[in-house]
Amino acid sequence: MAPDCPDCGGTGFRVRSTPEGFTTAARCDCSYREQAARMLKSARIPPRYDHCLLETFEGQEDSHREAIQIAGDWVERWPDLEFNHSLLFHGSPGIGKTHLAIGIIRQLAGQKGARVLFYEQRALLKKLQGTFDPGSAIRESHILAPIQAADILVLDDLGAGRTSEWARDVLHEIITHRYDHRKSMIITTNCALGEDDDEDAGDNAVPGVLGSLSLRQRLGDALMSRLYEMCRFVRLEGDDYRKGVINQRIRRA
Ligand SMILES: Nc1ncnc2c1ncn2[C@@H]1O[C@H](COP(=O)(O)OP(=O)(O)OP(=O)(O)O)[C@@H](O)[C@H]1O
Ligand SMILES: [Mg+2]
Ligand SMILES: [Zn+2]
């Protein structure tokens, strides 16, 4: 807690009187701030996403504005989410999926003290693979334990790269554990979902991701089924922000 907090006077609690004459005390946001700063340091968010906050996400397209609305609403209701206790952002590359996921976990760490963790899928699989090296000092369980313990796990770029049998099993274990324990995830993917079974290329094809396998093909029906139950699927549309806006800013500078 902050000794000079204007909301609670440094007590860490905000005391309010209800119209019925009762006095209520709620934990003040400032008591979470220090804890959040520490936690965010260990949340493994890559420095290139330092600027990613919900407030810095621009709503240029309808789907962007809708996504901000959904994200804000989810943040407000978390953790009291009976349905859709997870979110899945999908759409083509550079459209802001990871930005939104990180904006959400930053806000929830700061406002509600959520223990958050970020993993890009390929980096996670590589790290787990590294534990198989005979000389490795880190065991698989050292990596999986915090993943299971986190209140909110961001699994970024799900379905990226080659999905081997082993990779599929690992992802199955991680996602199913969170499903079984009703723990939140925020997933991002630029794979087509593959809703219309094997011939998914048509309507679900993501522009710019030619000939790629759908998420369903990569993860299998059992895992997709769990994702449909856990997640609110949020589709983002529009142009690649990296190519457009950011590039123009650099050229203008
Ligand atoms: N609507 C937006 N407002 C502000 N910045 C944005 C927006 N969309 C994207 N960006 C910025 O563009 C860059 C790329 O966004 P991001 O990494 O979130 O894309 P992505 O959809 O996750 O792409 P990929 O599928 O390649 O991982 C980031 O620097 C992000 O901050
Ligand atoms: Mg991304
Ligand atoms: Zn305070």
Q: Where are the domains of the chain?
A: 1-31, 42-252
Cβ(94) – ligand 1 distance below 6 Å: yes
Strands 23-27 and 13-17: antiparallel
Query: Mean of the per-residue pLDDT values for the chain?
Result: 88
Query: Dihedral, CA atoms, 168, 170, 175, 178, nearest 10 degrees?
Result: 170
Whether 208 shows a pLDDT value over 90: the answer reads no
What is the model's pLDDT at position 242?
Answer: 85
Q: Give the pTM.
A: 0.85
pLDDT digits (tens, 9 = 90+) for 4-62: 889 888 888 998 888 888 888 988 888 777 788 888 888 999 999 999 999 999 988 89
220 C-alpha vs ligand 1 centroid, how far in Å? 27
Asked if pLDDT for residue 245 goes beyond 60, the answer is: yes
Judged by its nearest atom, the ligand closest to the C-alpha of residue 27 is 3
Q: Tell me if 197 sits within 8 A of 217, measured CB to CB.
A: no
| pLDDT surpasses 60 at 202 | no
Rounded Cα distance between 11 and 104, Å, is 27
Q: Which CATH code fits 42-252?
A: 3.40.50.300
* % of the chain exceeding 90 in pLDDT: 58
Integer angstrom CA distances of residue 87 from 62, 98, 126, 202: 18, 12, 24, 24
User: Which alpha helices (H) appear in the chain, and where do they start and end?
Assistant: 29-41, 62-77, 97-112, 121-130, 140-149, 165-180, 201-204, 215-219, 221-230, 247-252
Mutation to probe ligand 1, out of 63, 98, 155, 186 (largest number of atoms < 8 A from CB): 98
Average pLDDT over residues 78-96: 92
Give the nearest ligand 1 atom to 96 CA. Answer: 18
Residue nearest to atom 14 of ligand 1 (CA): 94
Using an 8 Å Cβ cutoff, are 116 and 43 in contact?
Answer: yes
Over range 167-192, report the average pLDDT.
95
Does the C-beta of 104 come closer than 6 Å to ligand 1? no
SS3 label, residue 8: coil
Nearest ligand to the CA of 102 is: 1
Count Cβ atoms below 10 Å from residue 43 Cβ, excluding itself. 22
- For the packed helices 165-180 and 121-130, what is the interaxial angle rounded to 10 degrees? 110
Separation of 15 CA from ligand 3 center, angstroms?
11
Closest CA to 215 of 229, 207, 205: 205
The whole-number pLDDT of residue 223 equals 93
Which of 209, 241, 245 for mutating ligand 1's site (highest number of atoms within 8 Å of CB)?
241
pLDDT computed for residue 249 by the predictor: 66
